[in-house]
Amino acid sequence: MNTKISWPAPLLASAAALTVAAGLLLVPACSESRTDAQPRAVTPRGALGADELANVELFRKTSPSVVHITSLAAQRDLFSMNVQQVPRGTGTGFVWDQAGHIVTNFHVIQGANGAKVTLSDQSSYDASLVGAFPDRDLAVLRIEAPKDKLPPIAIGSSRDLIVGQRVYAIGNPFGLDQTLTTGIVSALDREIESFNNRTIRGVIQTDAAINPGNSGGPLLDSASRLIGVNTQIASPSGASAGIGFAIPVDEVNRIVPRLIRDGRFVRPTLGVSAGPPSLNQALKTPRGVALLDVGRGGPAEKAGLQPFRRGNRGEIVAGDVITAINDKPVGDFDELLAALEQFQPGDSVTLTLWRAGQTRKQPLQLAKPE
């Protein structure tokens, strides 16, 4: 059976859906009654090992920051014809700040027309959508809740992660609230495909158990700090097979504040259209972004960039190929978009351009997309 990448998609939280979708068989803790059973000895907490106590403390400290998200869909009642909101699926999120901002995956709320957020104390609040960035599968919701119920999660760093270090995931797999799983960083700098065919780079791979319902939940280091947002699994069955992926927190920390500020992630533009990598092969150009069109009045036109075009006799007139931005190589249009996401509209950058065998540097000012 071929392994496939699957979303830990929202799962309806009813008992029937839980049993069928999870393939769970719930049995009693003991199969028969015993009248001669002796009381079991209770192990004092002091008898736990240091690593166990650390796990207990991490969960105690972080679980209040983890929330359960129920996405809602509109449905017309068969008899009254009234439109009402019904549960569509569930996922996980976490508290970003005491203003009530909740971070989750975009695919958790994709297609929904409402959402409810349940906090760790089981209080529930209607959520509004603040902003989303599908290219990185991130979304921000907001709830109106007392500040003392909104402990923000501690933010860590993903740039200094090491393969083999211990990690923890807290989420709601199969609708089972506040579940803690442990594992290690299995690999770094993985690439996965977002649902809209954009590449997410620098992804963390972990063997911590991640299942449907874990989407949008935090991946933590041993100091209880956020290092990633759980988003996908590789599995032949759709359940955990020990290969999970998390969006690195450095990406999250770059995107979320802009979603909160602007309601969307505004990627600055060059004002160009580009061809596929096969065009570079056909034109025998270096690896980069071959321009097919330069928008009128845009930054590229103002900087003198030229697209490839046909001359009066049908010949190919050489245009520009963008090979780097601020000396960082870009190999295709997807890498160009990822590089532009590091900047704001109005920022000045320097392009490395190739045309007809000649290389040059060209400064220009990025613009806000129309």
Which residue among 71, 120, 186, 215 is the active-site one?
215
The phi, psi pair for 187, rounded to 5°, reads: -165, 160
Beta bridge partners of 309: 317
Residue 9 · residue 112 · CB < 8 Å: no
Tokens of 13: 């939280």
* Residue 128 a catalytic site member: no
Which member of 68, 107, 186, 224 is catalytic?
107
In order, the DSSP letters of 214-266 are -TT-EEE-TTSEEEEEEEEEEESSSS--S-EEEEEHHHHHHHHHHHHHHSB--
Nearest-angstrom CA–CA distance, 221 and 182: 10
Contacts 24+ apart (CB under 8 A), 162-165: 163/187, 163/188, 165/221, 165/222
Q: 260, 267, 265: which is closest to 130 by C-alpha?
A: 260
- Identify whether 107 is a catalytic site residue: yes
Query: What are phi and psi for residue 61, nearest 5 degrees?
Result: -75, -35
What CA–CA distance (Å, rounded) separates 349 from 305?
Answer: 14
135's tokens: 């290219």
Cβ atoms of 224 and 167 within 8 Å: the answer is no
Pairing state of beta strands 225-235 and 154-155? Answer: parallel
Q: Which of 65, 135, 137, 221 is catalytic?
A: 137
Nearest 5 degrees, angle CA 141-CA 147-CA 152? 60
In Å, the largest CA–CA distance within the chain is 100
Known catalytic residue at 215: yes
- b/e string for 287-314 if b means 16 or more Cβ within 10 A? bbbbbeebeeebbbbebebebbeeeeee
Q: Which residues participate in catalysis according to the annotation?
A: 107, 137, 215
